[in-house]
């Protein structure tokens, strides 16, 4: 069964100076129990999309349902059924950890006790600080509290808007492990992120840029759709190597990629031709090896096509 | 003074009451390097960086930046460095041009210098059409590029970049790194923090901070072989997981 169905959804912001098409005819479905990622940079339209789906913003076109309820007509029903963790910390800074949690439970006509099982895993980590004001918590603890508050009414669908932005690599890993456990409890999760590597942790993803979905599917299917050969290239002079790769006729695109550069090859050119060209350009030590594209390669190709 | 080393620290320490935010770190940065400074949230990166910029007084230890002492010559340090903070150092309600003029003025550059350099800069950034737009109306990627350009507008010897590339698309992120390489080729030393581990690979050397101390410092290649890791992400995770203290708010 479908948990979220989005059909041609659009949002336009008009100011005196200009109109911004924040979300443009976006369509996708999220199945019940799925962990679905919206992957895209700042300005892609992720927040506008989430705010429409959580009934905080009215769409300018198209329609959508969450757990079968219409996001315009049935907004009251949806508010009971969804949990939303906005990108910015929006709990009450001068209430304590415990008070915040009780407050959110009460708003939804329930108690912390009734739903403790669902947050237990996360809440035990901040419980030692339950008498501390939320404003005095560290970034990681604030995040755990916000997640607990978004879950305390046992939502059917959980929306997380950029929960890992600005978070270090270790905390990001931990956060995704928490999401995996929530998924096992049957909660449908929509999560947005600007980190391309997090796509691999989702069941399915939509890659989003400038209000549009570039591609959607399982991470594997998006990677399979990448049609070119990618060669990983390395030499002593990496910056010069990149310039030489960009200047060559045989590459469709080339860019740095960690330790190596990636050369996206045009079909009619071979590894050997690249090797000869680079040796001639003064990279006698050049190392070339075929490599698999990942979501970041796909994203860059899609956003430039 | 050792002219080849632009940063030298010796047991540099910062305590807040009982809490040792930076715990006796000793390291150096060579002139012309792209030096990566990594660590989990709360490891002490920002505190260390603020001391190196002359913005925060150390509790103990020594350091010189471009040959200037971080206790007594902070004003000279500030003239010789650039700093781009996580939260932009640009004024959102000034235009692009006004921001450039403002920073040029702060660093005491002449009107002619500012005018000529601003024109060149706008051309390089392809921002000529946006010159009279408010910075607040620019996309994040452009703001980041402009903030970097403004941070090196006065041609400092050394620039500190605190998580300069968060949130932007992968193409823009790489364009930003090209700007870093270009500045580095012109002889500006780069000191950069990031949460993107692929960016750690772009650095000449990388220091990893854990609980206020520098746990590892070397080229990405040596670090990977020391920790028998295939990526800098693995190296970072191995080290950062050892952290005992939780992050600060």
ipTM of the predicted structure? Answer: 0.84
Q: Are B163 and B194 in contact (CB under 8 A)?
A: yes
Give Cβ neighbours of residue B25 (< 8 Å, ≥ 6 apart).
Answer: B9, B11, B12, B13, B48, B61, B209, B212, B213, B214
H or E stretch at A20: strand A19-31
Number of domains forming the structure of chain A: 2
| Share above pLDDT 70 across residues of chain A, in percent, rounded to a whole number | 100
Burial class, B83, CB count within 10 angstroms (exposed 0-12 / middle 13-18 / buried 19+): buried
Cβ separation A140–B163 shorter than 8 A = no
One digit per residue, the tens of pLDDT, for chain B of length 249 reads 455 899 999 999 999 999 999 999 999 999 999 999 999 888 999 899 999 999 999 999 999 999 999 999 999 999 999 999 877 679 999 999 999 999 999 999 999 999 999 999 999 999 999 999 999 989 889 999 999 999 999 999 999 999 898 888 999 999 999 999 999 999 999 999 998 888 999 999 999 999 999 999 999 999 999 999 999 999 999 998 888 775 543
Average pLDDT over residues A212-236: 96
Kindly report the nearest CA distance between residue B56 and chain A, in angstroms: 21
**Which domain does A189 fall in, by range?**
2-224
Nearest-5° Cα angle at A29, A202 to A296: 40
- Final residue in a domain of this structure, among A224, A246, A266: A224
Q: Which of A17, A168, A246, A305 to mutate to test the interface with B (most CBs of B within 10 A)?
A: A168
Domains and CATH numbers, chain B: 5-240 (3.40.50.300)
Terminal alpha carbon distance of chain B: 38
Q: What is the CATH number of the domain that holds A146?
A: 3.40.50.300
State phi, psi for B50 to the nearest 5 degrees. -65, -35
Positions of E strands within chain B: 5-16, 19-30, 34-39, 60-65, 68-69, 81-84, 158-162, 189-193, 205-210, 213-218
H or E stretch at A190: strand A188-193
The reply to whether A72 and A130 lie within a common domain is yes
Q: pLDDT tens digits, residue range A41-81?
A: 989 999 999 999 999 999 999 999 999 999 999 999 999 99
Cβ-based contacts of B233 with chain A (< 8 Å): 169
- Final residue in a domain of this structure, among A224, A243, A275: A224
Q: pLDDT tens digits, residue range A237-271?
A: 999 999 999 999 999 999 999 999 999 999 999 99
The reply to whether A218 and A275 lie within a common domain is no
Mean pLDDT of all residues belonging to chain A: 95
The reply to whether A184 and A234 lie within a common domain is no
The reply to whether A185 and A289 lie within a common domain is no
Distance of CA B185 to the CA centre of its chain: 16
Comparing CB atoms, the residue among A43, A140, A258 nearest residue B247 is A140
CA distance A65 to A46: 17
Distance of CA B94 to the CA centre of its chain: 24
HSE-CB at B151 with a 13 A cutoff on CA atoms is 30
Cβ-based contacts of B172 with chain A (< 8 Å): 41
The reply to whether A260 and A298 lie within a common domain is yes
The reply to whether A63 and A176 lie within a common domain is yes
- Most confidently modeled of A35-39, A136-140, B128-132? A35-39
Cβ-based contacts of A141 with chain B (< 8 Å): 246, 249
The reply to whether A105 and A171 lie within a common domain is yes
CA distance B109 to B115: 10
The reply to whether A189 and A236 lie within a common domain is no
The reply to whether A22 and A119 lie within a common domain is yes
- Final residue in a domain of this structure, among A162, A194, A224: A224
Burial class, B8, CB count within 10 angstroms (exposed 0-12 / middle 13-18 / buried 19+): middle
The reply to whether A127 and A269 lie within a common domain is no
Q: Which of B138, B139, B171 to mutate to test the interface with A (most CBs of A within 10 A)?
A: B171
């Amino acid at each position: 069964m479908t948990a979220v169905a989005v059909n041609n959804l659009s949002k336009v912001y008009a100011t005196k100076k200009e109109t911004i098409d924040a979300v443009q005819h976006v369509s996708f479905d999220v199945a019940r129990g799925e962990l679905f990622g919206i992957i895209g940079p700042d300005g892609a339209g992720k927040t506008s999309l989430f705010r429409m789906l959580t009934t905080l913003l009215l769409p300018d076109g198209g329609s959508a349902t969450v757990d079968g309820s219409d996001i315009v007509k049935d907004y009251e029903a949806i508010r009971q059924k969804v949990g939303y963790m906005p990108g910015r910390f929006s709990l009450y800074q001068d209430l304590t950890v415990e008070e915040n949690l009780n407050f959110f439970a009460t708003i939804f006509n329930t108690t912390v006790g009734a739903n403790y099982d669902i947050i237990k895993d996360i809440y035990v980590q901040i419980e030692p600080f339950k008498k501390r004001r939320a404003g005095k918590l560290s970034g990681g603890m604030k995040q755990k509290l916000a997640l607990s508050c978004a879950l305390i009414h046992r939502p059917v669908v959980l929306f997380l808007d950029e929960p890992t932005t600005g978070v270090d690599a270790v905390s990001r890993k931990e956060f995704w492990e928490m999401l995996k456990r929530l998924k096992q409890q049957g909660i449908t999760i929509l999560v947005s992120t600007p980190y391309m590597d997090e796509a691999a942790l989702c069941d399915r993803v939509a890659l989003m840029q400038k209000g549009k979905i570039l591609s959607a599917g399982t991470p594997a299917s998006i990677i399979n759709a990448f049609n070119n050969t990618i060669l990983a290239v390395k030499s002593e002079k990496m910056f010069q190597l990149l310039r030489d790769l960009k200047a060559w006729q045989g590459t469709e695109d080339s860019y740095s990629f960690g330790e190596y550069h990636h050369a996206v090859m045009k079909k009619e050119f071979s590894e050997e031709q690249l090797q000869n060209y680079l040796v001639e350009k003064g990279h006698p030590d050049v190392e070339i090896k075929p490599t698999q594209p990942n979501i970041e390669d796909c994203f860059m190709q899609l956003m430039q096509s | 003074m050792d002219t080849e080393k632009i940063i030298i620290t010796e047991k540099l320490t910062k305590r807040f009451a009982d809490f040792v935010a930076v715990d006796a770190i000793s390291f150096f940065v060579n002139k012309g390097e792209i030096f990566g400074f990594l660590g989990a949230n709360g490891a002490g990166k920002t505190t260390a960086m603020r001391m190196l910029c002359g913005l925060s007084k150390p509790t103990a230890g020594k350091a010189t930046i471009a040959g200037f002492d971080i206790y007594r010559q902070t004003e000279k340090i500030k003239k010789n460095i650039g700093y781009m903070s996580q939260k932009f150092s640009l004024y959102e309600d000034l235009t692009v041009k006004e921001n450039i003029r403002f920073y040029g003025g702060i660093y005491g550059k002449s009107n002619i210098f500012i005018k000529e350099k601003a024109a060149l800069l706008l051309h390089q950034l392809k921002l000529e059409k946006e010159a009279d737009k408010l910075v607040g109306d620019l996309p994040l990627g452009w703001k980041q590029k402009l903030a970097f350009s403004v941070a090196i507008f006065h041609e400092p010897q050394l620039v500190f970049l605190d998580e300069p590339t968060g949130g932007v698309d992968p193409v823009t992120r790489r364009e930003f790194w090209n700007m870093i390489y270009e500045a580095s080729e012109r002889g500006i030393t780069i000191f950069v923090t990031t949460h993107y581990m692929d960016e750690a690979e772009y650095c000449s050397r990388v220091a990893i901070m854990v609980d206020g101390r520098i746990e590892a410092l070397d080229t990405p290649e040596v670090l990977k072989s020391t920790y028998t890791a295939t990526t800098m992400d693995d190296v970072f995770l191995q080290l950062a997981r050892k952290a005992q203290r939780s992050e600060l708010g």
